[in-house]
Amino acid sequence: MNERWFKQAVIYSLDVETFQDSNGDGVGDIPGLIARLDYLARLGVTCLWLHPIHPTPDRDDGYDVADYYGVNPRIGSLGDFAELLHRARNRGIRVMIDLVVNHTSNEHPWFQLSRSSPDSPYRDWYVWSEARPKYLTEGVVFPGVQERTWTWDDAAQAWYHHRFYEFQPDLNWANREVRLEIARVVGFWLQMGVSGFRMDAVPFVVEDPRADRADGHREFGWLDELRDLISWRQGDLVVLAEANVDRENIPEYFGGGHRLHMLFNFALNERIFLALARQSAAPIREALWWTPTIAEPCSWATFLRLHDEIDLSRLSPGERQECFEAFGPEPEMRLYERGIRRRLAPMLGGDRRRIELAYALQFSLPGTPVLRYGEEIGMGDDLSLPERYSIRTPMQWSDKPNAGFSTAPEDRLIRPVITDRDYGYEQVNVDAERGDDESLLAWFERMLRALRECPESGDGRWMLLDSGLEQVLALRFDGRTGTTVAITNLRDEPCKVDLSTDLGTPDLVLEMFANRRYGTRPRDLASLDLDGWGYRWLRLEFSN
Ligand code: MG
């Protein structure tokens, strides 16, 4: 048996601080999340990815960690976290946490000790240069907001390197003590009972900023060592890596199945948006053709929206402009000269048919789907908030004050709830959708339930079928469990497709999920109807 739980998972991404507040202090917390586990179980998610849970000065929404072995007291205690793991597991839900180890907060004791003296044992845990570095601004991650990647420190009398903001000094992965400590951090949380990690900023972890950048050298041995140190602790652990790199570099990150288990498919993500803008399946077909074949134990993670901007930087300038015009026409909707900082529903004009199309498409692509909290009810964004906070507003549970997120006075909320006319919590909330079979939430529940009966769609070998139509994406998945076919029409016009050549003559065709009941019979495969923006997931049964 080589079952990989993560290949059949539905991963739900959330920040504890904005999900549910239980004690009325305006900040979401672990007991609040525990109280919502039944909601998540009913929705059908099988794994949570929690944004950083550690103590932090919170200058970058927790991505500036001050203690890897603790829980941010604002969201609860280590005991609360253990309780969360226990209760989630009882509902069949696993938990992954963010592993943010390219850098720490500048308030982390390691950095404070490092800068305190050249003789400190922690001195070499960060990347220092006593000489003025040649390029102070090379490689900024947040253009337009961040100015430089080296900053002078008076206490250390040296420059320190930081790929991100100046309050996030980069750890020196070339130092073996650092790597051993990170392995201890990973081992600690595995011992607590997490199932894996979403590893932040991996391309920057494997670069040595003091090496010659021009040669593009990457030190993947560091990741091999980490995997080696931890894989015996827990055999089914998963590292889901954020590595938005050129496609020719991707195989190195998977390392033939011996390095990272999963990567977000960024190239596919930006081409899904190009496909939606053009009402054509061609950009997705291209992205799938380009997608490198990966070793059997590995998997892709698919997504439409995560907690960051949609990164369109690998599209051509013309393609990027098409996406901007379609989904981010106003300058305030764009970010870092490369992306869009909106939720999906407003990007698609709140059009229910297009939202369904987009998510049915994502959930039927090769890989494991990742869903961002609030997308299942069609939440909107708040463009008055700076940078990526526009899409990090509190979950909308009900039409009660503060969207049922918190009983705190409005001015004490960690972030304002959305109150606008179209996406405000009085219109868009879980309570309203929970009781409505026609709601987007009910639709998501049906889709996730259908996905459970198509396990090969995440796990199986996949092939692109020739639909004969530019606007129709047709994918076939074959696994030990059976055969699933997913057909998606990206254009708002009905059409017919003939898949009889690729699909043969099954004895039975089961319609697992579709935009409406089509009533498919085996002989229909030569002429399958698809509504405009329609989708059909079929399961084929053959007698031999
Ligand atoms: Mg609280």
| The predicted structure's pLDDT at residue 213 | 58
Task: Give the tens place of pLDDT for each residue, 335-353.
Answer: 988 899 999 999 999 999 9
The mean per-residue pLDDT over the stretch 32-47 comes to 98
* DSSP codes of every residue in 219-272: -THHHHHHHHHHHTT-TT-EEEE-----GGGHHHHHGGGTS-SEEE-HHHHHHH
Does the pLDDT value for residue 134 go beyond 90? Answer: no
Q: How far is the CA of 56 from the centre of ligand 1 (A)?
A: 16
Contact, 99 vs 226, CB < 8 A? no
325 closest CA partner among 387, 277, 280, 281: 277
Q: How far is the CA of 12 from the centre of ligand 1 (A)?
A: 21
Residue type, 398: S
Walk me through the domains of the chain, giving residue ranges and CATH numbers. Answer: 5-104+175-450 (3.20.20.80), 109-161 (3.90.400.10), 460-541 (2.60.40.1180)
Question: Coil, helix or strand for 346?
Answer: helix
Task: Give the tens place of pLDDT for each residue, 171-215.
Answer: 999 999 999 999 999 999 999 999 999 999 999 999 887 776 556
Q: How far is the CA of 34 from the centre of ligand 1 (A)?
A: 12
Q: How far is the CA of 23 from the centre of ligand 1 (A)?
A: 5
Q: How far is the CA of 73 from the centre of ligand 1 (A)?
A: 10
When pLDDT is cut at 50, 70 and 90, the band that residue 139 belongs to is: confident
| Full-model pTM | 0.96
Q: How far is the CA of 443 from the centre of ligand 1 (A)?
A: 30
Alpha carbons within 13 A on the beta-carbon side of 452? 11
Q: How far is the CA of 15 from the centre of ligand 1 (A)?
A: 13
Catalytic residues: 200, 242
| The predicted structure's pLDDT at residue 459 | 77
- Of 31-45, 124-138, 297-311, 508-522, the range with the highest mean pLDDT is 31-45
Q: How far is the CA of 312 from the centre of ligand 1 (A)?
A: 35
Q: How far is the CA of 522 from the centre of ligand 1 (A)?
A: 54
397 closest CA partner among 408, 387, 405: 405
When pLDDT is cut at 50, 70 and 90, the band that residue 1 belongs to is: very low
| The predicted structure's pLDDT at residue 91 | 97
Q: How far is the CA of 25 from the centre of ligand 1 (A)?
A: 5
Q: What token pair was written down for 539?
A: 């399961």
Dist CA 20 CA 17 (whole Å): 7
Of the given ranges (3-17, 171-185, 200-214, 397-411), which has the lowest mean pLDDT? 200-214
Dist CA 344 CA 402 (whole Å): 22
Q: How far is the CA of 377 from the centre of ligand 1 (A)?
A: 23
| The predicted structure's pLDDT at residue 232 | 83
Dist CA 379 CA 375 (whole Å): 6
Task: Give the tens place of pLDDT for each residue, 74-118.
Answer: 999 999 999 999 999 999 999 999 999 999 999 999 999 999 999
Contact, 384 vs 392, CB < 8 A? no
338 closest CA partner among 292, 284, 273: 273
Q: Looking at per-residue confidence, does 133 or 36 come out higher?
A: 36
Contact, 522 vs 505, CB < 8 A? yes
When pLDDT is cut at 50, 70 and 90, the band that residue 231 belongs to is: confident
> What sign does the CA torsion over 7, 12, 13, 17 have?
negative
Dist CA 308 CA 205 (whole Å): 19
Of the given ranges (61-75, 142-156, 209-223, 358-372), which has the lowest mean pLDDT? 209-223
Helix (H) or strand (E) holding 369: strand 368-372
Q: How far is the CA of 409 from the centre of ligand 1 (A)?
A: 12
3-class SS letters over 495-536: EEECCHHHHCCCCEEEEEEECCCCCCCHHHHHCEEECCCCEE
Dist CA 326 CA 346 (whole Å): 11
Q: Is 423 exposed, middle or buried (0-12, 13-18, 19+ CB in 10 A)?
A: buried
493 closest CA partner among 533, 523, 465, 528: 533
Contact, 311 vs 274, CB < 8 A? no
Dist CA 524 CA 64 (whole Å): 56
